[in-house]
Each structure stands twice: as C-alpha cells, then as structure tokens.
Amino acid sequence: TPTPVTVTVTGAAGQISYALLFRLAAGGVYGKDTPVRLRLLEVPSQTGAAEGVAMELEDCAFPTLASIDITDDPAVAFDGAGAAVLVGARPRGPGMERADLLTANGAIFRDQGRAINDHAAEDVRVLVVGNPANTNAYIAHRHAPDVPAERFTALMRLDHNRALSQLAARLDAPVGELDRVVVWGNHSATQFPDVSYLTRGGAPVTDGLDRQWLEDDFIPRVARRGSEIIEVRGSSSAASAAGASIVHMRDWVRGTPEGSWATVALPSRGEYGTVPGVVTGLPCRSDGGEWQVVEGLEIDDFQRARIDASVAELVSERDAVHGLGLVD
Ligand code: NAI
C-alpha cells in the first residue's frame, strides 16, 4: 500500500474547510490510491468544533482517509506535512483598521511559516487561502528560509475559475472548452483577469470579446465577484473557494492537463515585469513537480498598465508588513 501523505489544514472549523476537508479526504488531490492523514489546526476555542467536523469525516468512511488529528499547536500541526492549506485567518472586525488586520494576520502567518520551516516535509507544498492571501503567503514564505520560494503559493484559482465561467456565458461555450485565461496581480479588486491568450477547443478566441465589454463588464465583474456573493448569499464564498483549492493542489501534485494553464500566485522572479519577491498571480503549468511559469507571452500596453497597477498594490502591502516589523 502507498505511504499516506500528511496534509495540514488550518481554520478547520470554518466554512471553507467544511467544504474542503471532505473532498480532500475523498481523494480529490492525491487520487484514490494515496491515503491522506489530516492534521487540523484551529485556535483553542474552535478545536471542539473541529472535533465535530472530524466525527463527520469519520462517518463518511472514506477509504482514502488514514487518520485525523486536531491541534492548536502549529509545531504539531505541520510535523511531516507534505501539503499545507492555510485557510484560517483573522477576519476584519468592527472598527479594525487595515494595519490592525495586517498585524493580526501577520503574526499568524509568521508563526505558521516558521513552523512549516522547522517541521514540515522537505518537499512541502503550501497554499494560502486566508486573506489577504498573497501577502499572507509572502509573510509565511519570508519566515521559512529553508523552503524553496516556489513552494509557497496563494489561491488565485478561484478568480481564474470565475473568469472562465463569465467567458463561457458570454461566448455561449461549454466552460470545459475554454482555457488559457490568467489573472495577474493580487487577489483583490485590482486583479487583472486577462483573456488575451484565451482558447476554445485549443483555438484562439478572437470574436465576442470587445475591449468595452472587457473593461466595463468582465474585469469588474470577476474582480468584484467575492463581494457579489456576499451580497446575494449573505456570507462569503466557501464551496467555490474550497473547490478552487482542491484543483490548485491536484494540478500541482498530479500535473495540469496537456496544453492547459492554471493561475497560481507565487513569489515573483520578475516574470513579465512583475516586482521580484511579491506573491503575484501568474500563468503556470505543472508536470507534477514544481509550478513552471508559462514563458514567452506578449504583453501589450493595456495589459502592462493593468498588471503594474495590481503589482503596485502588492508592493504597498509588502512595504506595510515590513513597516510593521512583521518581516525583516
Ligand atoms: P471562517 O471564519 O468561517 O473560518 C476561519 C477559521 O479560521 C475559523 O474557524 C477560525 O477559528 C480559524 N482560525 C483563525 N485563526 C487561526 C489560526 N491562527 N490558526 C488556525 N485557525 C485559525 O472563514 P472562511 O469563510 O472559512 O474563510 C477563511 C479565509 O479564506 C478568510 O480569510 C477569507 O477571506 C479567505 N478567502 C479567500 C479566498 C481566496 O480566493 N483566496 C476566497 C474566499 C475566502
């Protein structure tokens, strides 16, 4: 029998985890032949609720679920972890300023970055979901100097999927025929969902995507989809965020389909004029090893301005966490 993989999930009692953990336990990332050992990290007041989720996981009798451990100690949670999905974060409370939010989350992701550095498996793959996801991933990565930078990623697959579904509706195309969108920059309102390289059934799409529709409808719709979900559903995206996290990890571990792209936020090496170090959305492929940034794409002036604007926001978030002493 294959060796089980240890997967750590933080924020295990929250609403995203309630959708994520069941798919993870059912083999959604590693497949039907690789058992997973789940390590659930929660704050002390929520370990009881995580216990309840664990009971439900047991009741599913998933053949791929080897064990479940619950802890409030990051050193225990990340011990031997082959994958870590960092969902738990501090939401913005009433009267909380941006700096307070960055400070609260900065401390969480600093401590978890250190624990990953000291305790996780050598080839750990980290996905940060908790917001501000890109900057939280930056903080964790900067506190894990022994882990290669490209093993710290932040979730922008949800933005990518939102873009695909809007395009499918616009083009009246089955969503599965569309590929090669990319969402550059930050998982925030400044993000740039880009259709410049879009393909349908492998062929470039040229019709139906005029500049005015892109600027007035598509880009703001995708960028504000999270707020729209909150308005309509009454709480923030959960199952869609969990689904995007599963496919992000699955594609990383098992490879992107032939010819296909994913949007992955990872520490920039300066690709496409982005600022080195900041965790930005980039077009990526995986062969089951490391994420590889797609090379050789042409960038026009319109794209340049949009990419630069979102990366500038990432730089200001980076500067803020340095200013608060959260990263040296
Ligand atoms: P939630 O509030 O339902 O759950 C968060 C859980 O994290 C809570 O149970 C809380 O106790 C736990 N937690 C807080 N600090 C922790 C710590 N230090 N260690 C371990 N657990 C901790 O929130 P939900 O809806 O599950 O969302 C989680 C995060 O994901 C939020 O920050 C949200 O903004 C973000 N998000 C990101 C998306 C993306 O595309 N990147 C999409 C949707 C949500």
Note the pLDDT of residue 207. 86
Report how far Cα 266 is from the mean position of its chain's Cα atoms.
9
Crossing angle (nearest 10°) for helices 133-142 and 98-119: 40
Q: What angle do CA 305, 307, 312 make, to 5 degrees?
A: 95
Per DSSP, the chain holds a count of helices (H) and strands (E) of 11, 14
- d(CA 32, CA 295) in angstroms, rounded, equals 33
Catalytic residue among 143, 187, 248, 322: 187
DSSP E strand boundaries for 160-217: 178-179, 182-184, 192-194, 199-200, 203-204
143 is catalytic: no
- Strands (DSSP E) along the chain, which ranges? 5-10, 36-41, 65-71, 83-86, 125-128, 152-154, 178-179, 182-184, 192-194, 199-200, 203-204, 262-267, 279-286, 291-293
**Residue 95 pLDDT:** 80
As given in the structure block, the two tokens for residue 30 are: 């590693």
Q: What angle do CA 250, 172, 234 make, to 5 degrees?
A: 65
Does 208 count as an annotated binding residue? Answer: no
Question: Tokens 């740039």 correspond to what residue?
Answer: 192
State in Å: Cα 149 to ligand 1 middle: 23
Q: What is the pLDDT of residue 263?
A: 98
pLDDT at 36: 98
Q: Taking the domains of the chain in order of start, what are their residue ranges? A: 5-154, 157-317
pLDDT along the chain (328 residues), means of 10: 93 98 98 97 98 98 98 98 97 80 92 98 97 97 98 98 98 97 97 97 92 96 95 94 98 96 98 98 97 98 98 96 94
The minimum-distance atom of ligand 1 relative to the CA of 238 is 25
What contacts 24+ positions apart, CB below 8 Å, involve 302-306? 302/211, 303/184, 303/192, 303/194, 303/196, 304/273, 306/184, 306/185, 306/192, 306/194, 306/219
Report the DSSP pairing between strands 178-179 and 199-200: antiparallel
Task: For residue 46, say whether it is annotated as part of any ligand binding site.
Answer: no
11 Cβ inside 6 Å of ligand 1 = yes
Cα gap 319→266, rounded to integer Å: 17
Q: Does domain 157-317 have CATH number 3.30.70.20?
A: no
Residues shown for the chain: 328
For the domain made up of 5-154, give the CATH fold: Rossmann fold (3.40.50)
Rounded CA gap, 48 and 209, in Å? 50
Question: What spacing in Å lies between the alpha carbon of 5 and ligand 1's midpoint?
Answer: 23
